[in-house]
Amino acid sequence: MTQAPIQSPTSSTAQAPPQLSHRSSPKTEYHDSWSDRIFIALFIRKMSRVLGEGTSKKGFAGVVDLSKRIMQGRSPAQQQAVVAKVLGSLVPAPVLWLIRTLVSPTRWVCESNAWFAARLFPWLIGPCEVVEAEVTGADGETRRQKSDVHIKKCRYLEESGCVGLCVNLCKLPTQQFFTEKFGIPLTLTPNFEDMSCEMVFGQVPPALETEAAFNQSCLAVGIDSKTPCPKVRA
């Protein structure tokens, strides 16, 4: 289980990570447990196999390094296709078919997925908790259910410091994977101000063009804060 993050001590000379703007808070330090390190290593192996190349960086830095390599020379659609292959390699196709065929996205199923996600993925997304949210499902019905995984400060976004990586390599492919492959709608809504995120199972994902992420500016220092991130709209 991922240990609680330790915030770096602040001082009069402390500065935000150079790749992020003034909106970022002091960088979170993680002390991965042995199980976290195993999950990270397995994920790196899957990414390397699909990408056709490895990384010399260790631990979570390897995940970010390979993510940046996936982005190089590829359009957003191509990046998402690579990640889709990575996610698909994590679960056997027959298992996906059985789940999609036999399991309906009921309230219990959505809440169960949220419960498991909050316990299985802190090594990737950071500390999180399951909270109640108003959800509109595929049937058009709106209900309140405890299927929202509130990610307090996304580890992947903080480490990468990139809107494009967040949207093209996490948000969109993850939504598509659960919605289409599992048959369980999922919507991720990142907050680029505090780096939190809402991961809502059962919520049908809207078109990206209608979301705030589509107009989000780059997080890098020196970039025009009024210009939408070109890596999302490329």
Among 61, 38, 218, residue whose Cα is nearest residue 155: 61
pLDDT value of position 137 = 82
Number of other CB atoms surrounding residue 102 within 10 Å: 8
With 0.75 as the threshold, say if the pTM is over it: yes
Q: Cα–Cα distance between 79 and 231 in angstroms, integer?
A: 11
Q: What is the pLDDT of residues 41-66, one digit of tens each?
A: 999 999 999 999 999 999 999 999 99
pLDDT value of position 20 = 46
Identify the bridge partners of residue 200 per DSSP, sorted by sequence position: 148, 187
Residue that wins the pLDDT comparison between 18 and 78: 78
- Give domain limits for the chain: 30-233
Q: Mean of the pLDDT values across residues 74-103?
A: 92
Q: Mean of the pLDDT values across residues 143-152?
A: 96
Q: What is the pLDDT of residues 189-228, one digit of tens each?
A: 999 999 999 999 999 999 999 999 999 988 875 565 678 8
| Range scoring the smallest mean pLDDT among 23-37, 41-55, 63-77, 137-151 | 23-37
Burial of 167 (0-12, 13-18, 19+ CB in 10 A): buried
pLDDT value of position 132 = 97
Q: Mean of the pLDDT values across residues 125-135?
A: 96
pLDDT value of position 63 = 97
Percent of the chain with pLDDT over 90: 72
